[in-house]
Amino acid sequence: MKTIGLIGGMSWESTVVYYQLLNRLARERLGGLHSAKLLLWSFDFAEIEGLQAAQDWAGATDAMIDAARRVEHAGAQCLLICTNTMHKMAPQVQDAIDIPLLHIADATAQAIKQTPVKSPLLLATRYTMEQEFYVGRLRDEHGVKVQTPEANSRTIVHDIIYSELCQGIVSEASKSRYMDIVNSAQAQSADGVIFGCTEVGLLIRPEDFSIPCFDTTEIHAEAAMAFALA
């Protein structure tokens, strides 16, 4: 089994899920007392969120490259960035290290293309929904054209992620708001849902909807374990 490197803490609420998923997958694949070989660098998310809010993407990139190099030097054989948003600097991170970075959007696109879904709704941070680094990669490299909620709904989705989910708050009221946004998009032709922030699956689950859902955290972990055991 190869050693998987993780850059987490963005937020730690979803990094916990990565840790659990990867270990469960190792046990399922190998049986017995097997668990995943992991190396984790975990940020203080307040520092990263401050860089995001200030639009200091250069500073955020420097921090991510530093973390990636630390994980590589510790012995990781591949790298996961345990957040969709910070894939904004994935190309720079990959250029700075010699181990492969397993891109969350690539894994998600492969999962989508195994289904009939043609126009999924993306639920994510404002950065991921509105900037090209994620939506553009899905479209240009994989032919997956996503929908995003209208402006007010994007604000709701983003605010719930940062003010609640990243702080361990899971609210039925917020779940209802997310479900309303998805149902509205479904009525307007969305035929799938991408949980495009690694915390979204803490609030809503695929069984809440009648259309296919793609939980990027689970998909990313599955891709990592496939790599580790190849």
Give the pLDDT confidence of 131-165 residue by residue, as tens digits. 999 999 999 999 999 999 999 999 999 999 999 99
| Closest-CA residue to 225 (of 15, 26, 20, 72) | 26
**Residue 139 sits in the same domain as residue 165:** yes
- pLDDT on residue 158: 98
Marked catalytic residue, from 15, 83, 85, 217: 83
* Same-domain status, 96 and 157: no
Q: Is pTM, for the whole model, over 0.75?
A: yes
Q: Are residues 130 and 159 in the same domain?
A: yes
Q: Structural domain of residue 151, as residue ranges?
A: 105-215
Number of domains the chain is built from = 2
| Torsional sign, CA 125, 131, 132, 135 | positive
Which member of 61, 197, 198, 217 is catalytic? 197
Question: Is 213 among the catalytic positions?
Answer: no
User: For the domain that residue 85 is a member of, what is the CATH number?
Assistant: 3.40.50.1860
Would you say 113 and 219 are in contact if contact means Cβ atoms under 8 Å apart? no
Identify the residue whose tokens are 């046990």.
27
197 is catalytic: yes
User: How much is the pLDDT for 211?
Assistant: 97
